[in-house]
Amino acid sequence: MAIHPIEYRYGTPEMKKIWTEEVRLRKFLEVEAALARAEADVGLIPKEAANTIAANLSKVKVSRVKEIEDEIGHDMMAVVLALAEQCGDAGEWIHFGATSNDISDTALALQLRDGIDILERRLRGLKDILVDLALEHKHTVCVSRTHGQIGVPTTYGLRFAIWASEVGRHLQRLNQLKPRILVGQMSGAAGTGAAFSPFYMEIKDKTMQYLGLGAVDVSNQLIQRDRYAEFVMFLANVATTLDKIGIALRTLQRSEIAEVEESFGSRQVGSSTMPHKRNPIKSEQVCGLARIIRSKVEPALLNNTLWDERDLTNSSCERILFPEVMILTDHTINTMIKVLQHLQLHPENIRKNLDLLKGVNMSEAVMIELAKRVGRQRAHDLLRTCAMNARKTGKHMADALLEDKEIIKHLSPSEIEHLMNPENYIGAAVEQVELVAKKLRDEP
């Protein structure tokens, strides 16, 4: 019976597969085989034993491991014994000198590597969609809002470019994180490697080379969790970017703004009682799940505060932490990609909101030009008085300007008309979009 929504509602099949019991077991076995191979290379165990161990990995089943664990109460030893059953005399050499976390932490790195490959691909897809939208809408002029109030004009292209640039930084962070996260260990009971003597360093390095992982410089009975805490904080940062985009899209879909809209299927239902509703449910889902992803930061940090060379408080926590945070982050990125792929912009409402304040939001454009002739502080005072008067009387700002005797001494009607056009006051918005797009597309 399914209980957790990840089982039936959230997550992509490819990311979920990485965190299944079957795949986890396969990674454990892969590490055991790599260890045996490394030990055979240095003469610590017979080469024939290492070959036999590698040849029998596929025979070990989750069901058998569980049966043994129920009997002995130790999950890693159950894996070792299940493999040993398939290897005859060579089974005596399995797990030689290793401790449980040598296998489980190194196997975790293999799972994280597969998951990171998916996340990186998703983030690149999200970045590319945002770049495409930025270029498509680099001339789509709209109102900006500061403190929730309409400000000077901006463009949708600039908004999309800002989000794309943020995703680009996440990709940079991920590349910087990989060498610290994708590492394994083969340290023995307390980190000294005594059980592998005199070949400890060689066995550790060779095992990781076979697995394609980095090797820790030093560890105790487990890999220090600052590495994973940093990664979970990275995922929380990604989720917060998605949350920010989702909040923006939800705000812009408000009925009284209605500049953008999530796609709505021909048979889709928005409300069980209000037939007219078209709700931004996908963006809301992203924002909601971002809260769960961020909540994983504290347990990830606390997993680094273990007793002495180790305790087990991180183990139960991480069995939940890693699958949840990886699956939900992947899901939210994938969901936001779909939202943006099918996002609808409503030009008529974008224009309506540009004109909503009857030109008052163009005050800065007029002030800047007027300041060149009467000084900045005087120009600001004149425009503030004029704007407040226009808002009070309901006049269009252009009419209020033309009625101000001091202003028309310095600005002609044609100049005022030009300055009141939002399309003429977007500064370097287009150039910035083009620069960001080129930079992000040129990055490997």
Active centre residues (catalytic): 147, 271
Which residues are bridge partners to 146 per DSSP? 149
**What three-state secondary structure class fits 430?**
helix
CA dihedral sign of residues 134, 140, 146, 149: negative
> 211, 106 in Cβ contact below 8 A?
yes
Rama region for 277: left / alpha / beta (φ>0; ψ in -120 to 50; rest): beta
Angle at alpha carbon of residue 120, lines to 23 and 443, rounded to 5°: 155
Burial classification of residue 149, based on how many CB atoms lie within 10 Å of its CB (0-12 exposed, 13-18 middle, 19 or more buried):
exposed
Pairing of strands 260-261, 344-345: antiparallel
Rama region for 34: left / alpha / beta (φ>0; ψ in -120 to 50; rest): alpha
Q: Name the nearest CA neighbour of 100 among 24, 26, 187.
A: 187
Report DSSP state, residue 274. Answer: -
323: preceding bond cis by omega (within 30 degrees): no
Residue 298 Cα to chain centre, angstroms: 17
Burial classification of residue 313, based on how many CB atoms lie within 10 Å of its CB (0-12 exposed, 13-18 middle, 19 or more buried):
middle
Residue 16 Cα to chain centre, angstroms: 16
Write the single-letter amino acid at 59: K
d(CA 416, CA 407): 10
